[in-house]
Chain A
Amino acid sequence: MSLTDRIARGLEAGWKVTDGATLTHNQTHEADVVVIGTGAGGGTTAEILARAGLSVILVEEGRLYYQKDFKMNELDAYASLYQEGMSRVTKDGAIAVLQGRCVGGSTTVNWTSSFRTPDPTLNHWASRFGLDDLSPDAMRLWFDGREERHNIEPWVTDPNVNNDILRQGCEALGWSWEVIPRNVKGCWNLGYCGVGCPTNAKQGALTTTIPGALDNNARLFHGLRADKLVMKQDRIDHLQASAMAADGVTPSGITVELKAKHFVVAASAIGSPGLLLRSDIPDPHNRIGKRTFLHPVNATIAEMPDTVDPYYGAPQSIYSDEFNFSRGVDGPAGFKLEVPPLHPAMSAGVVPGHGEQQVSDLSKLPRMNSVIALLRDGFHPDSPGGTVSLRDDGSPVLDYPVTDYLWAGLKDAFYKMAEIQFAAGAKQVRLMHLDSPWYTTWADTKAGIDKLTMAPHRVRLFTAHQMGGCGMGNNPEESVVNGFGEHHQVTNLSIHDASVFPTSIGANPQLSVYALAARNSTRLAQKLRS
């Protein structure tokens, strides 16, 4: 394989990268800072600290996969790049949780939509959680900086048909729509962002901040799971970690102890609160794992009269915020409307059914469009989010009860999505619900949704955006870290990932994670060097 790939070249040039599966004896290492997790937050943190001259060790539970491995193959990708081999669900099984588990974290498999944190969200954080320092004005420079670092620009190529249907439907109904900014450089418009970008066009952590950190002498252990932060008096002394075998799921029995002056946890929502709970980190107000948010997603599919090819082309390029903040930041549940890419394995897992009906439904794939609604959870008292706890084996699990407030929002979203699809010329529409038939008119759909049972399992729910569980705020009684990601009780612990958000974002979260991690790492670097 030619060495044009950034990772292949770096490895050749002697980057300090260790595959946990190759370790044969227990060992101890030391650095200024240990960063746990290599996704949006961990990558950003490691690069900024390493550039500032600090010695950094990165710890990643998943394995290192890069261009040579990205062959546009769904089954391999889901098994190797996603948490729990793509089988992660909430505690009662009602919400499928899509989350990355590899070097680059969820950014290696995400769909490249890149939004700034909406102003109403930042303003709500200021008034509700005392986070005045994160005002839109104060954050602007950090968004500017990260947009440059990740090459974020509105997508100038025409949207694929799947996205264009959302645009057409909104246009016909007089609803707003916009073009999505993406973090790509020289994108081939292929549509395989969710299984690892095969061209290196995606500017996620894997192709930007991770190489940046490794170029600056950081050391990366992958296939190494952070088990426990071990305290000595009131500070963390070291991280205890377990090496995983080459299959990525079985611990090999080898353990690694990592000592540092400071520890940055960036294992994301579910993962970070899980690590803190396993470590018995002081939590006087019982906040760890609470208020975990998901942007719960429901979906409709449509059979269009003409070819859609929903598996090809930039997966997300059009969105509508018509119903997102329009009824007030803390009014009825608002939602962002987008479309998902549809490849056969993903579609077979998302469209519920079996037998003849399933063969017939999936045979429509080339003419299929899907619209998804991402609910803005955590802004209203009746949307308190979910709670992370530990299973017997120490792994984290999220209990996320869907409240009546959210069911109302999900039902509302079913109406809006189906209406858009018919307005764009759909022949028939099916709700992703166990009871839904194909509806051939908007009037029938409307009547069907009126009677629909909104219940767990029957409504198919998904999440690709896990947030919260180590919420930030000024009041230690209701938060885990302050606005700089610094733990309220433990002085050498920071959290730099999506788990610090005190509500959901109300937009796809990666740029919010990048920007906040950049801001907080810049401050941390100054503190640690002085």
Chain B
Amino acid sequence: MSETLPQSVQTEAPATAMDRRSFLRTGLGGALFLGTVSVTAGLSGCASAPAGRDYPMPEAMDQSYEFRFLTRDDIVLFKALLPAMVGPGLAEEQVVRRQQIQATIERIDAGIHQFGPANQKELRGLFDLLNFGLTRVTVARVWSSWENVSPETAHAFLERWRTSGIGLFNNGYIALTKVSNVAFYGHPDHWHLSGYPGPPGFAVDSLPQFKDNA
């Protein structure tokens, strides 16, 4: 199978893996645990407020987007994950690449806003777990803070969650990849990657909703 990784990558953090696994084995334990993390993260001063217009993308050309769900920490998290997530789909050229990442994170935020409160709460738990130092290390087994995580390390993390025998981690993998993949491949800027030519031209040319002032 093409995506299987060498054993050394999969077992990157041997030390505490087994006790975490048994701790998280039951869905209930997992759910409670995620809840606790959210509270702990909140108490310990992790930025849980939406980033608004104040977010760490100094390189961004356009600062007009207002984040309504993602926190500053979440943005850092996705900046680290996207290069592994959409990998070679991103442009080589650094300025373009950064713009692609920024625009994708903005679309992820806009999409999550429409999810409504219940699923936002689920994602809050997941993102807090990944951002909070203690759980990032023990549960995600990512040693450095996301700012310093390389695409290779991010990829290894995603692989661990994809291939894990624990449903909760598979679920986390699906949640992260789904919001990222939809926001990235679904946008016209990246349609060329899937070879999708866009809506049929003859329809666009003849339908009233595509005319100016429609």
Expressed in whole angstroms, the Cα–Cα distance for A363 and B170 within the complex equals 24
Q: A18-26, A77-85, A129-137, A498-506: which one contacts chain B?
A: A77-85
In the bound complex, do residue A79 and residue B110 qualify as a contact, i.e. CB atoms below 8 Å apart?
yes
A404 lies within 8 A of chain B by Cβ: no
Contacts of A353 in B (CB 8 A): 3, 177
For A192, the chain B residues whose CB sits under 8 A away are 199
List of B residues within 8 angstroms of A141 by Cβ: none
Closest to B89 in A: A359
Interface of A is mostly: loop
Contact yes or no, A355 B84, CB < 8 A:
yes
The distance in angstroms between the C-alpha atoms of A188 and B200, with both chains bound, is 11
In the assembly, what is the distance between CA of A180 and CA of B134, in Å? 55
Q: A80-B114, A344-B194, A393-B117 are known contacts. Are A354 and B186 too (CB-CB below 8 A)?
A: no
Q: How far is the CB of A186 from chain B (nearest CB, A)?
A: 13
A357 with B207: CB separation less than 8 A: no
Contact in complex: A354, B171 (CB < 8 Å): no
B155 at the interface (CB under 8 A from A): yes
Q: A391 is contacted by which of B118, B182, B191 (Cβ under 8 Å)?
A: B118
Whether A92 contacts B170 in the complex (CB less than 8 A), given A84-B119, A345-B185, comes out as no
Judged by a CB distance under 8 angstroms, whether A366 is at the interface is yes
User: What residues of chain B lie closer than 8 Å to A71, measured between beta carbons?
Assistant: 199, 209-210
> Is A347 part of the contact surface with B, judged by Cβ < 8 Å?
yes
Q: Which residues of B contact A69 (CB under 8 A)?
A: 209
Complex contact A347–B185 (CB within 8 A): yes
Tell me whether A85 and B114 are in contact (CB under 8 A).
yes
Q: Is A173 an interface residue (CB 8 A)?
A: no
B-chain residues with CB within 8 Å of residue A435 when the two chains form the complex: 1, 163
The CA-CA distance from A188 to B201 in the complex, in Å, is 13
Q: Smallest distance from the beta carbon of B10 to chain A beta carbons, Å?
A: 14
A87 to chain B: which residues have CB within 8 Å?
111-112, 114-116, 119
Distance in angstroms between the alpha carbons of A87 and B112 in the assembled complex = 8
- A249: interface (CB < 8 Å): yes
Task: State whether B114 touches A199 (Cβ < 8 A).
Answer: no
In the complex the two chains form, is A348's CB within 8 Å of B181's CB? yes
Contact A366 B195 (CB under 8 A): yes
Q: For residue B174, which residues in chain A have a CB less than 8 angstroms away from its CB?
A: 93, 352, 457, 460
Determine whether the beta carbon of A72 is less than 8 Å from that of B203.
yes
B158→A354 contact, CB < 8 A:
yes
| Cα–Cα distance between A358 and B155 once the two chains are bound (Å) | 12
Chain B: interface residue total (CB-CB under 8 A):
59
Closest chain-B Cβ to A114's Cβ sits at a distance in Å of: 23
User: For residue A358, which residues in chain B have a CB less than 8 angstroms away from its CB?
Assistant: 85-87, 89, 177, 181
Our pick among A1, A80, A249, A434 for the contact of B209 (Cβ within 8 Å) is A1
Query: Please, which residues of chain B bring their CB within 8 A of the CB of A345?
Result: 182, 185-186
Whether A311 contacts B196 by the Cβ 8 Å rule is yes
**B208 CB within 8 Å of chain A:** yes
Query: CA A78 – CA B111 in complex, angstroms?
Result: 9
Query: Can you list, as one digit per residue, whether each of A339-354 has a CB less than 8 Å from chain B (1) or not (0)?
Result: 0000111011100111
CB neighbours (8 Å) of A2 from chain B are 208
Among B113, B167, B196, B203, chain A packs the most CB atoms within 10 A around the CB of B196
Report how far A358 CA is from B174 CA in the complex, Å. 13
Which residues of A lie under 8 Å from residue B214 when comparing CB positions?
1, 68
Interface hits, B49-70 → A, CB 8 Å? none
Instruction: Tell me the residues in window 69-87 of chain B with beta carbons closer than 8 Å to chain A beta carbons.
Output: 84-87
Residue pair A397, B167 in contact (C-beta under 8 Å): no
Report the minimal beta-carbon distance from A340 to chain B, rounded to whole angstroms.
15
A1 touches B211 (CB 8 A): yes
Closest to B166 in A: A457
A354/B181 contact (C-beta < 8 A), A92-B171, A457-B174 known = yes
Residue of B nearest to A437 (CB): B1
Known contacts A71-B210, A352-B174; A438 and B84 CB within 8 A of each other:
no
Contact across chains for A437 and B2 when beta carbons are under 8 A apart: yes
- The CA of A435 and the CA of B165, in the complex, are separated in Å by 11
* Chain A residues positioned under 8 Å from B200 (CB to CB): 190, 312
The CA of A69 and the CA of B178, in the complex, are separated in Å by: 25
Kindly report which residue of chain B lies nearest to residue A248, judged by CB atoms: B114
Nearest to B204 among chain A residues (CB) is: A72
Query: Considering the complex, which residues of chain A in the window 42-100 have a beta carbon less than 8 Å from any beta carbon of chain B?
Result: 67-72, 74-75, 78-80, 84-85, 87-89, 92-94
Bound Cα distance from A345 to B207, whole angstroms: 23
Question: Which residue of the partner chain, among B3, B27, B112, B194, contacts A363 with CB atoms under 8 Å?
Answer: B194
A365 to B27, CA, bound (A): 35
A349 in contact with B115 (CB, 8 Å):
no
Q: A85-B116, A354-B87 are in contact. Are A198 and B2 (CB under 8 A)?
A: no
**A458: Cβ under 8 A from any B Cβ:** yes
CA distance A393 to B119 in the complex (A): 12
Q: Interface 1/0s, chain A 409-446, versus B by CB < 8 A? A: 00000000000000000000000001101100000000
Binary per-residue interface labels of chain A (222-237) against chain B in the complex, 1 for a CB within 8 Å, 0 otherwise: 0000000000000000
Q: Which of B111, B173, B175, B194 contacts A362 (CB 8 A)?
A: B194
A418 CA to B17 CA, complexed, in Å: 37
Contact with A along B96-126 (1 / 0, CB 8 A): 0000000000010011111111110010000
A84 close to B3 (CB less than 8 A): no
**Minimal beta-carbon separation of A51 from chain B (angstroms):** 30
With A349-B181, A362-B194, A363-B194 in contact, is A74–B186 under 8 Å at CB? yes
Interface residues in chain B, defined as those with a beta carbon under 8 Å from any beta carbon in chain A? 1-3, 27, 84-89, 107, 110-119, 122, 155, 158, 162-163, 167, 170-171, 173-175, 177-178, 180-187, 190-191, 193-196, 199-200, 203-204, 207-211, 213-214
Given A72-B204, A87-B116, A393-B118, 9 more A-B residue pairs with CB atoms under 8 Å apart are A71-B199, A87-B119, A190-B200, A249-B116, A344-B190, A347-B185, A352-B177, A354-B85, A359-B89
* A-B residue pairs in contact (CB < 8 Å), sample of 24: A5-B208, A67-B208, A71-B199, A72-B203, A75-B111, A84-B118, A88-B119, A92-B167, A92-B171, A93-B122, A190-B199, A343-B196, A349-B178, A354-B87, A355-B86, A355-B155, A362-B193, A366-B195, A393-B118, A395-B116, A434-B162, A435-B163, A455-B167, A458-B170
A-B CB proximity, top 5 nearest = A345-B186, A85-B114, A457-B170, A348-B185, A72-B199
